């Protein structure tokens, strides 16, 4: 083959590759074309960043913020991103009906002399960075006996017949576009919960993955109760938005001042508040206000909010992650034992022990649960008595946990570092701790490669 023919063939291959890479790969597939159907236009719906609806003297404006939408007019509030995204897609990819799709005329016969609604949407031009384009679609009459509505692009005389569902979406009440998720997000993002009720309040805060009470006392919080409250608050959904005429009188709804004010702090430090007021006459919902909006919520949350702070105190003595424990020092009946985590496993008083037995000891410590809380006066009487059992857990980060167990009549009392007051425990709980300690210290690990001798 001559070099000239080889160059021509090479040029053809390069041109074919360029066509596939730059043009054909961007063309919609057969399935995509079937899904979209026949369109008046196909604009980049993922680039639509604002929508303005005008209907009946009311203007509704939406703006895209990252992956979500926000209502700007008639008031600023979080929008239902699914509802607004569906509207943006319907406007950007406007479908044609089967049969006659357009006609010419002055529009008066189709109700377009004075459109019942207008939708203006703007998008970023993907070919021209920083430049925006916009289009306004005017809506007229719904066509009797069909699922179509008359419409036209502002400034054009061509009448378009569009899905009636699009016209319905453009005309629907603004409340239907508002997000019903009060806070949104996940409960795992909640870093603190502050509840104010009259003159009282309680505050829960997460530190290193562990819930603590900060007000009215500083103490370890019940993880299950705190997690449940965080889940319930994060999952709150609006039952119904209250009409403006009624929501203007906040005092009548118990919202000025509110009965409860709940403030969430997320992991980034952002704070958002929710006011809760009177229970509605149906007995199932409560009036609430958030970001200037007044609505109703299920009153199921009130039971937890009305609890005293003591209900959120943890009856378990300590909370820790096993992997964070670097050592355990325990003194029982005058005998001291020191456990240390090493690269090869655990040791007790310098000799290797079974990791499983040490894990059982940590389980027994984590499971130690009090039967009741003791006040400072009761704890003060224990200071003169030596403890029967002392346990100290050294952590990879942060202060150690120290627990002292004192006999108290037929039971035991425990004093825990970083926690106020004391804790009453049943005698079997302490006996179980002692047994786990003895087992962990006395269990040697198997010798590698050594086969037990049969007798």
pLDDT at 105: 72
pLDDT in tens, 393-429: 999 988 999 999 999 888 999 999 989 999 999 999 9
Rounded average pLDDT over 46-53: 94
Residue 448 — very low, low, confident or very high, per pLDDT cuts 50/70/90?
A: low
DSSP state for residue 371 in the 8-state scheme = S
pLDDT averaged over every residue in the chain: 87
Q: Tokens in use for 398? A: 């942060």
The first and second tokens of residue 183, run together, are: 């806070």
The SS3 of residue 135 is strand
Question: Is residue 390 exposed (0-12), middle (13-18) or buried (19+ Cβ within 10 Å)?
Answer: middle
Q: In the chain, which segments carry CATH 2.60.40?
A: 34-177
For residue 30, is pLDDT > 50? no
**Among 2.40.50, 3.40.50, 2.60.40, 1.10.510, what is the CATH number of 34-177?**
2.60.40
| Per-residue burial over 261-283, b = 16 or more CB atoms within 10 Å of its CB, e = otherwise | bbebbbeeeeeeebbbbebbeee
Percent of the chain having pLDDT more than 90? 61
Comparing CA positions, the residue from 146, 149, 210 lying closest to residue 366 is 210
DSSP state of 216: S
pLDDT band at 9 (very low <50, low <70, confident <90, very high): low
- pLDDT tops 70 at residue 106: yes
């Amino acid at each position: 083959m001559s070099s000239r023919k080889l160059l021509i063939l090479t040029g053809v291959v390069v041109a074919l590759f360029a066509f596939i890479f730059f043009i054909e790969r961007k063309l919609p597939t057969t399935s995509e074309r079937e899904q979209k159907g026949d369109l008046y236009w196909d604009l980049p719906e993922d680039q639509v960043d604002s929508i303005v609806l005008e209907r009946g003297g009311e203007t509704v404006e939406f703006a895209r913020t990252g992956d979500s939408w926000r209502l700007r007019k008639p008031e600023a509030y979080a929008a239902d991103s699914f509802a607004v995204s569906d509207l943006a897609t319907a406007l950007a990819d406007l479908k044609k009906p089967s049969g006659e799709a357009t006609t010419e005329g002055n529009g008066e016969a189709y109700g377009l002399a004075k459109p019942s609604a207008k939708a203006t949407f703007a998008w970023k031009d993907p070919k021209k960075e920083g430049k925006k384009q916009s289009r306004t679609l005017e809506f007229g009459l719904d066509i009797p006996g069909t699922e179509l509505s008359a419409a036209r692009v502002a400034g054009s005389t061509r009448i378009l017949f569009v899905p009636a569902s699009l016209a319905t979406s453009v005309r629907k009440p603004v409340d239907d576009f508002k997000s019903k998720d009060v806070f949104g997000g996940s409960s795992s993002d909640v870093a603190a919960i502050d509840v104010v009720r009259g003159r009282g309040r309680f505050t829960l805060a997460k530190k290193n993955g562990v819930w603590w009470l900060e007000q009215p006392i500083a103490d370890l919080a019940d993880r299950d109760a705190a997690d449940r409250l965080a889940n319930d608050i994060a999952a709150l959904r609006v039952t119904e938005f209250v009409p403006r005429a009624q929501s203007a009188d906040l005092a009548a709804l118990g919202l000025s001042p509110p009965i409860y004010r709940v403030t969430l702090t997320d992991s980034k430090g952002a704070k958002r508040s929710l006011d809760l007021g009177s229970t509605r006459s149906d007995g199932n919902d409560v009036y609430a206000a958030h970001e200037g909006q007044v609505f109703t919520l299920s009153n199921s949350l009130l039971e937890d909010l009305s609890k005293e702070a003591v209900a959120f105190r943890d009856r378990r003595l300590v909370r820790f992650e096993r992997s964070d424990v670097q050592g355990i020092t325990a003194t029982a009946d005058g005998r001291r034992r020191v456990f240390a985590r090493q690269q090869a496993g655990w040791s007790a008083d310098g000799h290797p022990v079974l990791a499983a037995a040490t894990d059982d000891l940590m389980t027994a410590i984590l499971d130690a649960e009090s039967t009741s809380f003791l006040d400072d006066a009761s704890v003060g009487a224990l200071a003169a008595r030596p403890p029967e059992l002392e346990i100290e857990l050294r952590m990879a980060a942060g202060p150690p946990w120290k627990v002292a167990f004192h006999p108290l009549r037929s039971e035991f009392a425990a004093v825990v570092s970083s926690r106020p007051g004391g804790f009453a425990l049943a005698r079997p709980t302490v006996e179980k701790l002692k047994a786990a300690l003895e087992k962990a210290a006395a269990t040697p690990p198997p010798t590698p490669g050594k086969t037990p001798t049969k007798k």
